[in-house]
Structure 1
């Protein structure tokens, strides 16, 4: 396992790489999280088989804060950074595993670049470019407002960290440390521009994906509307269905890697 920092135009980006010699998969975490949330994958069988690269988004984890927050802290800005990172690493083609915000970034990427060879999203409802579609894709709960709140109290940090990893999931201190470290402007700016001009139509990108496209969600995810996600008219969804993991919350790869990883491995092998 190798950890290093790559200079990019938005900021320095921290990554961890596995030693697998198979095709590359870029792992993109969610809002106010960090690359370590994918530890079970890049440190396990997936990482032994595939070349896993888990990145910290700007303003998150070990990456620097954005030099230009307005330009970077929204989904198109994050997609630009991820595409630039992979170009600087000299990797022309790669699959993407995107969780929550990371899945939305992945949808931006596949709509704008031929570099991705496949995309698996988890906890990322593909909404259309309207507030009504966004509201339909997500659920209202006690913690949702924290996703776009610039400043968090210590209690709010803990509450958000526990909720996003899954209420029944294992909890480690790095999860709350990641929330506390996150540049609050990243939450505020990203959440305020979910459907702003310049963003990709996420629903269209998912329904008409040009690359193999998979969805794996926790059935009891308290943040997303699984009925909304399942009802979209996908043109060619991988294995013909949304994979729902019973009794699992918002981060199935963290909460239940023994259930999640075989699906991810099968997807990566298929592309």
Structure 2
């Protein structure tokens, strides 16, 4: 059963949170979604077998889903806000050394957290096609699923944005998503205002230094056919920086392995959570 609540993030921004599994006494896993997505991205995992023995928590980032959507770009450009949001979720929900699972743009949020709060409160990082380098210097690390749709994703024209959102969602899997899933994902993306989208994609960040300082175990999981965030992001940025890094590569899988290969995703994650607890 999924439980829904709200947490007060940085600057009083209200953040929507979904939970499943034991409310206490179990290993905690905190899921961070990607650009213009929501906590609904993790629905299959939150309702799956991991919830039997793990406390699973997924949040809507500020500006997304059911969380507050402050006006302007400043609340989204300053990484201290995202770092504060993540810290607030961990603190207010009493998550003890959670493994943080960051997908796609969620890597930026994790990078912000490491930059402002360090890794002391974390159990480990599970980076799923996660962007730890963004902006013009990182263009070669992104595939056509992102680059071909970027202009439309920044548009204030509702029809142009809807078309770009659909093309983006359809580019995520190596094989096609069911039409109902595509439609639902596009509808969720349409809830993200243009000020949020423009702010997020305006950021140029490199979290290599934060990864180098990280003392917690790190695993990267990447679909070999990812055409949104290219596998080089994991191999050339993350694994080249971390001290305790391991990788998992999924053949025949694109940008959403937790949907495309749920069982494989859950198996790798569960193994990592057990190992991270020592």
Q: Which bracket does the TM-score occupy, shorter chain normalised?
A: 0.7 to 0.9
- CA distances 1:50-106 after superposition (whole Å, capped 9, x unpaired): 111100011111112126641335544222211122222233531100001112211
Give the alignment of 1:141-180 within 5 angstroms: 141-153=147-159, 154-164=162-172, 167-171=175-179, 172=181, 173-180=183-190
Q: 1:229 to 1:246 in 2, by over 3 A?
A: same
Distance in 2 (alpha carbons) for counterparts of 1:165 and 1:3: 28
Query: TM-score normalized by structure 1?
Result: 0.86
Candidates 44, 64, 80, aligned match of 1:40? 44
1:224 matched to 2:229? yes
Q: 1:151 to 1:98 in 2, by over 3 A?
A: farther
Extract unaligned runs of 5+ from structure 2: none
1:210 matched to 2:215? yes
Aligned match of 1:249 = 254
Give the alignment of 1:35-184 within 5 angstroms: 35-66=39-70, 69-73=73-77, 75-113=79-117, 114-127=120-133, 131-132=136-137, 134-140=138-144, 141-153=147-159, 154-164=162-172, 167-171=175-179, 172=181, 173-184=183-194
Distance in 1 (alpha carbons) for counterparts of 2:265 and 2:233: 22
Aligned match of 2:243 = 236
Distance in 2 (alpha carbons) for counterparts of 1:250 and 1:105: 18
Mean CA deviation greater in 3-12 or 46-55: 3-12
Q: Is the 8 A contact 2:77 2:203 kept in 1?
A: no
Shift of 1:10: 4.3
Q: Is the 8 A contact 1:15 1:56 kept in 2?
A: yes
Extract unaligned runs of 5+ from structure 1: 196-200
Distance in 2 (alpha carbons) for counterparts of 1:243 and 1:87: 30
SS at match of 1:116: coil
Candidates 264, 268, 272, aligned match of 1:259? 264
Alpha carbon RMSD of aligned pairs, Å?
2.4
- CA distances 1:25-63 after superposition (whole Å, capped 9, x unpaired): 110000110101111111111122211110001111111
Q: How many residues align?
A: 262
Distance in 2 (alpha carbons) for counterparts of 1:149 and 1:269: 43
